[in-house]
Structure 1
Amino acid sequence: MSHIVVIGAGQAGSSLVAKLRKDGFDGDITLIGAEDVLPYQRPPLSKAYLLGEMELERLFLRPASFYADNNITLKLGQRVTGIDTAAKTVSLGDEVVGYDQLALTTGSDPRRLPAAIGGDLEGVHVVRGLGDVDAMAPQVREGARALIVGGGYIGLEAAAVCAKRGVKVTLVEMADRILQRVAAPETSDYFRALHSGHGVDIREATGLERLEGEGGKVTRAVLSGGEVLEVDFVVVGVGITPSTQLAELAGLDLDNGIKVDGQGRTSDASIWAAGDCASFPYRGRRIRLESVPNAIDQAEVVAQNMLGAARDYVAQPWFWSDQYDVKLQIAGLNTGYDTVVTRQGEGLQRSFWYYADGQLVAVDAMNDPRAYMVAKRLIDMGKTADKGVVADPAADLKSLLKA
C-alpha cells in the first residue's frame, strides 16, 4: 500500500493531508510536526489569541478526531533530522519512516537578532509560533514599555496589539519609511498616521545598535543615533526566511525557497513542496508567497498532483492584516508598479490601486471590501481599471467589471 509522508504540520500540511483523503487516497498518510500541538492557524496568534479573545482550541485547524477518523497518523513534537532520497526514508532521531511520496510543508522561520547585539536576552521575542506568543503574553500589560524592531506588517500588527493593551510602544524601522519593501508611500503614510493616533512612537530611518540587560533580561535598547530607551520587552519583526534546511540536506534544488515546478514537484520526482517554503513559476518569473491562502491553495493542488492530476498551480495572490479597527486587504502583487491611484472613502476607508504600464496589478484596500473585491476580480481576469473611475469616490466600482 502506498505511503505519503508530509513534513510540516501547519496550514499547508494540514490542508494537504485533508485534500488527499477528500479526493479518495486510501493509502497510509503520516503528518509530522515539530510542535507538540495539533495543526493550528497562525494569524490570530498575534491578535485575538494574544489579546485573550480566542482560546487555544479555537486555533486548531481541525479537531483531533478528524485525523483519527481519516486514518491520518500524527507524529507531533518530533523533528525530522534527515531525508534519504535513495532509500526513500525520513529519520526522526532513531526512528526511520519510509515513504513512496513525500511533501515538504516546512513553512518559514523568523529572522532573529544576533546574540552579539543582545538578541538572546530574556524578553526578546519573535512572533511566529504558539510558544513565542505564550512567552510574550504575560509581558503585554498596561504600562509596560516595548520596543518593536521592524516596520513591516508583522511589526505593525504587534505594535497595534501592544498599544491596545496600554503598552507604551516605540517602533524602529531602518528603512526611510515603514512598509517600504511591500507598499507604496501612500500606504505607509496611512498606517503611520493610524499608529501615531494610537500613541505609537514610530522612528523611521532608525536602526537598533544593541540591546542591554541585567541578570540576563533585556532592560535597555541603544538606537543607531545613540539614544537609550528603557524597555521591558522587545518584539522582533524583521521578516521570515523559508525553512529549507531539510531540503538542502536532501540535495534538492533551492531558489529563494525549495524550487518546485508548476505542479509543486521538486527536483526529486518523489518529493513535493507547498506553502511558505516553496518557490514556484508565476507569470514568467519565480516567486514565493507568504500567506495563508497560498498555503491552502498550493497544498491542495499538490495533493491532487500526488494522485496524478498533473495540474498547474495558478496563484491568485491575496493577503490581509488587522490593525486596531482597520482591516487591510491586499490583492495582487505590486512589483514593478509605476503609478498609484487613490480612492478616498469616508473615515478610515481608503484604497490605493497600483498600475504598471497602465495595467492594474495590485490594490491595498483599508476598510473597503468592495474596492478589494472588484480589484481582485479584475486582476484575476487580467483586466485593468479606468483610473478616472477609481479616483472618483462617487463612481460605481462595479461598472469596471462590465468594461
Structure 2
Amino acid sequence: MNKIGLILFTFFICSCQAQIKENDIQVQNEVKNYTFETVASGIDIPWGMAWLPDGSILVTEKSGILYHIKNGQKTEVKNVPVVYNRGQGGLLDIILHPNYEKNGWIYMTYASSEGDGDGGNTKLIRAKLENESLTSIESLYKCGPNTTKGQHFGSRIVFDNEGYLYFSAGERGNHFVNPQDIKRDNGKIYRLNDDGTIPKDNPFVGKEGAKEAIYSYGHRNPQGMIKNPITGAIWAHEHGPQGGDEINIIKKGANYGWPVVTYGIDYDGTIISPDKEKPGIEKPIYYWVPSIAPCGMVFVTSDRYPNWKGNLLVGSLKFQYLELVKLNGNEIIGRQKIATDIGRVRNVAQGPDGYIYMGVEGKGIIKIIPN
C-alpha cells in the first residue's frame, strides 16, 4: 500500500470507529429462561421453513432435499428440481401462498444452472405438494447470467399485505457491476405478482433495458426478509463485507448503496468505499460492526415470549447464537444474545403454534420452549 493509500485507509478506520461508537449498541448476555426441544435432527444446512395447515413443516436443505416433517418423522419430498449446489448456493427459501388452503401454491428459491452461461444463479418457482411429491411446477423468475462463483445467491421470500411476492438475490460476488445496474440481475430485491407476472407499478417498468421485476437495488447479499406485522413494511437484512451488515426497510425504487457506500472493509483490509453515506442512497436503520453474518429474521408476535414480543430475532452464523434486536418503532434500542453457542443459526421462524423455531446447521430444527 502506498503512502496515499495508507493515509486514506487510516482515515477510513478512524472515521469508521467513530461511527461505530455512535451507532453500536453493545450486545447483552443471554438470560436463559428457556430450554430447547429438537423437532428434527440430521439436517445439515436447514435453510427455509414453512408450516402446512396440519401443523407439519416443510424444510429446505441446501444440498437439494425438501423434507416434510410430521410428528417428528422426516420424509423426503420427491420431484424437487435439481439444484446448483455450490458454495452458498443450493435449495434456499420456502413459503406458502397466503391463500394456500384455497390454491395450494408453495414458493421456493434455489440456485439453478438453467439459462445462459456456466454455473448457476437464483431462481424462483412455485409448485404444489401431492402425495409427498412436487407437482404443477412453474418457473416464475430466473436471474441471469449464470456464474461459477459460489457466493451471494440470497435468498428469502415474503408476501406483503397486498399479495405481492418479494424475493432477494445477492450480487453473486460481482459487486462492482451487478448491484447498481438496474439492467442486470443480482444485488436486488424483486417484486412480482403471485403468478410471476410483473406489477404494472413496479418502479422500473417501461424504463429501457431495465429488469422490470426489480423493486430495490444496491444490495449485497440479503439472507433475511420479513413483513413487519404492524406496519406491513418489508424489512430485510444483508451481509456486509468485514463489518457493515445492515437492517433496511425496503422502499420502492430505492438504492441501498452497495458498493458505493458501506460501513465495512474488504476481507483483506482494503477499502471498498471511503463513504458511508451519500445523497440519494438509503441509510440502514441499523448496521453491525463487527459483522455477525446475519441469516433469517422474524418479528416475534407470540404471547409465549412476553419479553421478546414486538422485537426481532436474527440468526448469527458467525457467532453462533440468536440475537434479540429490541425495537422502539423503527429504531433499534437494544441487543441481547439468545441460544449462545447453539451453532450456526441459518434461519429462525415463528410457527403457527406461537413457538420460535431455529434452523441450526448440523443439528436440524430446534424449538425454543420458554420456562
Normalised to the residue count of structure 1, the TM-score between the two structures is 0.24
Q: Quick check: which has more Rg, 1 or 2? A: 1
Structure whose residues are more often helix by fraction: 1
Structure whose residues are more often strand by fraction: 2
Normalised to the residue count of structure 2, the TM-score between the two structures is 0.26
Structure with larger RCO (C-alpha < 8 A, sep 6+): 2
